[in-house]
């Protein structure tokens, strides 16, 4: 059992008195905020309610409470904390194990009250003065940064107002131009319809002419071959046809021989439709052989006979009345001989058709140019709308960072940050840039920018970058690192995140005097 009198005297010895000119009695190591919990006029109850002890047991270097609340000023409880008042500087709490360990942890030396181990000088005033000077410097930076932030906001406001007005103006322009565009489209479609009709008639007439010409030539060739097999033009027999072909030394296929053997008294019309298509290649071969065998008696070519070439019906399939009834824009085949040496090439269009084509081309050109004009206006409108809808943070302030780029160079690389666009890395030894990410989204309440989907690492994921924003007087990229493989981190200072400093420049540093 503890000896009450010595313990009581020991506790009184450990009590600290700190309060400017007014003294507040509280045990050593207790912060002012908890002084009322240590009332010397009654027993002390542990904060966790685990025990109640005489007040004299406070700071008796023996741990009576499980939560160490009875030993705020000694190292008796391993889980306890000692409060350094540090008047004139920043108060701190240190682990109880550091009390009287021979090392000055509190700038006022209160943690080393056993002067047999070490004598600590009170440096709180000097440290407080330096800290206050630094705090004032930081506060001045914040004031300057906040002022520039306001300037950025004003600039963005003007820019936003201009873009809003431009967007409204573009909307009116597009709305006014739409009826004209629709009218030009109708004119284009009407002109193209007339053009199509005229072109189709021209092409159809040309195709009909070619078909009639080819049929006439085919008939003429068939007539010549029929005369070859039957000079008197009497109906052909299988025997006569076979003998003529065999006589000329032609080797006939079994199928063709069987076909010919099945013929009987074939007149020309039947020959034209059923026999000629099957034997014309053989006939041409016969003609070629005869041509090589003699030059004195050349075989009549299988091309169109001179008489056929002069056939009025071939050269002019339209009689005069029909031509007059036809659309003037249709193709007139009687002009074909003078139009092209290539008889299978469609002749040029008539002047009337060409005029319709020119009208349609002009209508297309007018519509295309007008449509392009409207398209560009809509494109400009879309770009402005995207800008207006983008998330540029509070007061749209971060819009001032758009279209800017900032670099930071370390021993190996040059890093480039282009806000709302991309992040890149380039070796100082040269080479191409490596994408570290494209603009993704905000994080941590506009204090971090996330860039994703960069160049893929070798056998790894796509690179990404987190940009941490700090208050600064200028826009400046101040650091870049790769804390994890393919994951980069940068620090960017900008007035955009600066806030207005408080009246007391040391509040954020915790500099104050305890009473």
What's the confidence (pLDDT) of residue 107? 95
What's the confidence (pLDDT) of residue 504? 61
pLDDT average per 10 residues of sequence, the chain (515 residues): 42 41 72 92 94 95 95 94 93 94 94 89 92 86 90 94 96 96 97 97 95 93 91 88 74 85 90 91 83 56 43 41 45 46 85 96 97 97 95 95 96 96 94 95 96 94 96 94 95 94 61 54
What's the confidence (pLDDT) of residue 500? 87
CATH label, 396-497, candidates 3.40.30.10, 2.70.170.10, 2.70.130.10, 3.90.550.10 = 2.70.130.10
What's the number of CA atoms in the CB half-sphere (13 Å) around residue 392? 22
Sign of CA dihedral 247, 253, 258, 262: negative
What's the confidence (pLDDT) of residue 53? 95
Global pTM value: 0.58
What's the confidence (pLDDT) of residue 68? 95
What's the confidence (pLDDT) of residue 116? 85
What's the confidence (pLDDT) of residue 396? 95
What's 418's DSSP letter? Answer: E
- Helices then strands, each counted (H, E), the chain: 10, 14
**Neighbour tally for 515: CB within 10 Å:** 11
**Is residue 436 a contact partner of residue 456, using CB atoms and an 8 Å limit?**
no
What's the confidence (pLDDT) of residue 486? 95
Domain spans of the chain, in order of start: 4-122, 195-338, 396-497
**Is residue 408 a contact partner of residue 477, using CB atoms and an 8 Å limit?**
yes
CA–CA dist 231, 244 (Å, integer): 12
What's the confidence (pLDDT) of residue 502? 77
What's the confidence (pLDDT) of residue 5? 39
What's the confidence (pLDDT) of residue 245? 80
CA–CA dist 289, 291 (Å, integer): 5
What's the confidence (pLDDT) of residue 252? 80
What's the confidence (pLDDT) of residue 22? 43
């Amino acid at each position: 059992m503890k000896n009450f009198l010595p313990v009581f005297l020991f506790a009184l010895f450990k009590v600290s008195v700190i309060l400017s000119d007014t003294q507040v009695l509280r045990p050593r190591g207790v912060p002012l905020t908890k002084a009322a919990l240590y009332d010397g006029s009654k027993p002390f109850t542990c904060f966790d309610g685990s025990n109640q002890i005489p007040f004299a047991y406070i700071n008796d270097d023996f741990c009576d409470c499980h939560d160490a609340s009875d030993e705020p000023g000694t190292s008796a409880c391993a889980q306890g904390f000692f409060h350094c008042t540090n008047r004139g500087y920043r108060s701190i709490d240190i682990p109880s194990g550091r009390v009287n360990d021979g090392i000055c942890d509190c700038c006022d030396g209160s943690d080393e009250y056993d002067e047999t181990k070490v004598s600590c000088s009170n440096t709180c005033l000097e440290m407080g003065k330096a800290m206050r000077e630094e705090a004032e410097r930081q506060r001045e930076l914040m004031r300057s940064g906040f002022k520039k932030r306001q300037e950025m906001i004003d600039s963005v406001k003007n820019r936003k107002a201009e873009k809003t007005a431009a967007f409204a103006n573009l909307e009116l322009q597009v709305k006014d131009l739409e009826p004209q565009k629709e009218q030009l489209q109708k004119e284009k479609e009407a002109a193209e319809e007339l053009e199509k009709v005229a072109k189709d008639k021209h092409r159809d007439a040309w195709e009909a002419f070619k078909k009639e010409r080819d049929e006439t030539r085919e008939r003429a060739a068939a007539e010549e071959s029929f005369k070859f097999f039957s000079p008197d033009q009497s109906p052909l027999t299988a025997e006569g046809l076979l003998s003529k072909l065999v006589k000329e030394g032609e080797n006939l296929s079994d199928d063709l021989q069987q076909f010919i053997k099945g013929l009987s008294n074939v007149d020309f019309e039947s020959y034209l439709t059923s026999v000629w298509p099957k034997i014309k290649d053989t006939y041409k071969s016969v003609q070629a052989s005869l041509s090589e065998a003699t030059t004195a008696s050349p075989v009549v070519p299988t091309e169109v006979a001179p008489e056929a070439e002069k056939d009025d019906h071939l050269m002019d399939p339209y009689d005069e009345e029909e031509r007059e009834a036809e659309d003037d824009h249709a193709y007139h085949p009687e002009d074909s001989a003078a139009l092209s040496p290539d008889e299978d090439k469609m002749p040029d269009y008539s002047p009337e058709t060409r005029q319709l084509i020119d009208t349609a081309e002009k209508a297309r050109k007018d519509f295309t140019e007008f449509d392009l004009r409207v398209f560009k206006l809509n494109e400009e409108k879309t770009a402005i709308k995207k800008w207006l809808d983008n998330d540029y943070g509070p007061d749209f302030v971060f819009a001032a960072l758009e279209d800017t780029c900032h670099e930071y160079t370390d021993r190996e690389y040059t890093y480039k940050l282009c806000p709302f666009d991309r992040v890149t890395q380039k070796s100082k030894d040269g080479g191409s840039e490596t994408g570290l990410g494209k603009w993704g989204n905000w994080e941590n309440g506009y204090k971090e920018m996330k860039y994703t989907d960069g160049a893929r690492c070798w056998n790894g994921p796509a690179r990404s970058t987190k940009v941490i924003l700090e208050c600064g007087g200028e826009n400046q990229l101040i650091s870049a690192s790769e804390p994890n493989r393919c994951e980069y981190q940068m620090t960017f200072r900008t007035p955009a995140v600066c806030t207005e400093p408080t009246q007391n420049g040391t509040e954020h540093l915790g500099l104050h005097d305890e009473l």
